[in-house]
Structure 1
């Protein structure tokens, strides 16, 4: 167990690291951010900041030596240079990163533990795309095998003919068949070092242009009917990974049951509502888990809770946002408001 005053290292300097550092400070920990970008909103609220490239093994080793535990705030941290950090210091470990960074490997891993992803086929060369579309069917979505988030690195194919002329990235792609679903929802869990697992309520998630726009409780009835099965799968994933911390699995609620979409080995945008809407937030419980502390209660504090992402310049209309006296406003401190950029979020707890 880490005593108050210990240092938590966070790989990544974005808003998830920022909210994690704030939660850590509330229970007495210092945070040390490691990120390649000088402009880090997480570093603004942390005790220390190392700005260095991901592949600078010497800088990573020096950073790790100054920390009592190291975690990460996003899943695209390069795995290879993390060998400079002692394995027993990193929570969760690199296995979750290795799987989450490769969409094909992720889907096969989920199948191996009993889950059901959307129909898919690996596409490593241009010549393989037409066959993949024929086997899986159209319409579908071609996604980069690595990287890509918030709808980036994706191409929708309405019919087989649309595959003509598409160049498959050198790192490969995966072609997924379209899933007919009623709604999307998340299962967010936290797993402690002793294996205890707790879940937050599952929100109904709405995306716009590939970006999460809205999360809401209570979710539709179909989510309630399928959440137990989805939770069971998410727990199997966590246990197979030997996971410590917060893990998110996204699902489609379909007429045939929950279909796995993707996982995020980290705190998640669809769990931001837990800061005000749960007894213990996802950020605090992640800190508790990696620090070896008892987990906090994940129960929701109200029946109705709504979280809206603030994207682009409208995020800066502070007076308008706070004209609703129930609004809990979180701005991430980003200097430039660009189209499609997450600048903050608002959570409203209770009816009204």
Structure 2
């Protein structure tokens, strides 16, 4: 069995590692050069793109911003999973909003802007506190602007006037007062079967995910059920195959969908240590037509992103339940270099381990770590 992944970054690498025990050979496409590479060491393989597509049993993606010409080529084979339509939804916020509305999935109030003067109408309809997002190519905080006061409107218009809004419209959302950011990772198989992981709580800094905790604390059965209903509506509505991530805001007892990621996702990395079957293995099982694996959380888990640094003590591995996942990249500001998974038998113990972890890390790169450790140490939520 062979799976060809479009994209050759860390997600393709983790899919490769998950595929080895299953006997699934995972190859990767460097979408910048249309070459076929080994997902771990990035060496060129003796195959061209056409031959790799022909020899693959399934085609999939590690990120949604694959050039459309490559997706169109892949879609003609009927091997692409998820579908090109689902992948393009993740790459375009306008498509995403239209899908959410069509399926009656609750999301943030918004307006689509293709002319800078439409911002005045947005203020009239949504108020003077706005989140402005480029509809394409924005992630990790890039391609986003905030307006917290009407006095900023003229300055924002000047900044945005240089953009081609006909080619890349803006999605302007009402700025929410939400309680926290959550995500749900789920998987749908070829026969329509669905497995869903517990809700994960995500802590961001400057638009990037820094820490995830799963299962999220203080989640009622009703809220988990609401999230699962949202996932099922989306997955069935798109006839989706593979892992899908749904990012949400919790506002009281209500969930609003913020973004969709039609792939394995950063906030699901905890599943490598904290669940019986990781999101990477389940994605491969889905596209290969194999039975899906168990998604129950075995114990409380935290995932800590390593961003923009490589100098830290590997002695962190002395902490029981601590696992390092290094991506082998060159260092760059705001670049995800790797992640650390930590598991424990209670949330209090998890907080204590995160506090230990902080001793081995340059904390200027981990601004959310100690605060989250303290919060977990104060928790008396019953573990899963």
TM-score of the aligned structures, taking structure 2 as reference length: 0.82
Distance in 1 separating the partners of 2:51 and 2:196: 35
The verdict on how the C-alpha distance between 1:105 and 1:82 changes in structure 2, with shifts beyond 3 A counting, is closer
Q: SS at the partner of 1:221?
A: coil
Asked if structure 1 preserves the Cα contact closer than 8 Å seen for 2:30 and 2:37, the reply is no
Asked if structure 2 preserves the Cα contact closer than 8 Å seen for 1:245 and 1:289, the reply is yes
- What corresponds to 1:26 in structure 2? 21
- What corresponds to 1:312 in structure 2? 308
Distance in 2 separating the partners of 1:148 and 1:263: 13
Distance in 1 separating the partners of 2:46 and 2:61: 14
1:136 aligns with 2:126: yes
Q: SS at the partner of 2:159?
A: coil
Deviating more after overlay: 114-123 vs 59-68: 59-68
Segments of structure 2 that go 5 or more residues without pairing to the other structure are 350-384
Asked if structure 2 preserves the Cα contact closer than 8 Å seen for 1:35 and 1:50, the reply is no
Distance in 1 separating the partners of 2:254 and 2:269: 26
- What corresponds to 2:175 in structure 1? 178
Segments of structure 1 that go 5 or more residues without pairing to the other structure are 1-5, 52-58
How big is each residue's C-alpha offset from its partner over 1:17-68, in whole Å with a ceiling of 9 and x where there is no partner? 11011101121111221113479996335796489xxxxxxx6433311312
The verdict on how the C-alpha distance between 1:50 and 1:219 changes in structure 2, with shifts beyond 3 A counting, is farther
The verdict on how the C-alpha distance between 1:249 and 1:348 changes in structure 2, with shifts beyond 3 A counting, is same
1:13 aligns with 2:8: yes
How big is each residue's C-alpha offset from its partner over 1:206-232, in whole Å with a ceiling of 9 and x where there is no partner? 111100111113423256542211211
The count of residues paired between Structure 1 and Structure 2 equals 337
User: Which of these residues, 250, 258, 264, is aligned with residue 247 of structure 2?
Assistant: 250
- What corresponds to 1:167 in structure 2? 160
1:105 aligns with 2:95: yes
Distance in 2 separating the partners of 1:65 and 1:108: 34
- What corresponds to 1:264 in structure 2? 261
Distance in 2 separating the partners of 1:156 and 1:107: 19
Q: CA deviation at 1:327?
A: 1.0
- What corresponds to 1:62 in structure 2? 51
Distance in 1 separating the partners of 2:203 and 2:307: 14
The verdict on how the C-alpha distance between 1:46 and 1:284 changes in structure 2, with shifts beyond 3 A counting, is farther
- What corresponds to 2:366 in structure 1? none
- What corresponds to 1:226 in structure 2? 223
The verdict on how the C-alpha distance between 1:126 and 1:68 changes in structure 2, with shifts beyond 3 A counting, is same
Q: CA deviation at 1:241?
A: 0.9
Distance in 1 separating the partners of 2:343 and 2:94: 38
- What corresponds to 2:354 in structure 1? none
Q: CA deviation at 1:162?
A: 1.5
1:84 aligns with 2:73: yes
Asked if structure 2 preserves the Cα contact closer than 8 Å seen for 1:150 and 1:212, the reply is yes
Asked if structure 1 preserves the Cα contact closer than 8 Å seen for 2:130 and 2:148, the reply is yes
The verdict on how the C-alpha distance between 1:160 and 1:63 changes in structure 2, with shifts beyond 3 A counting, is farther
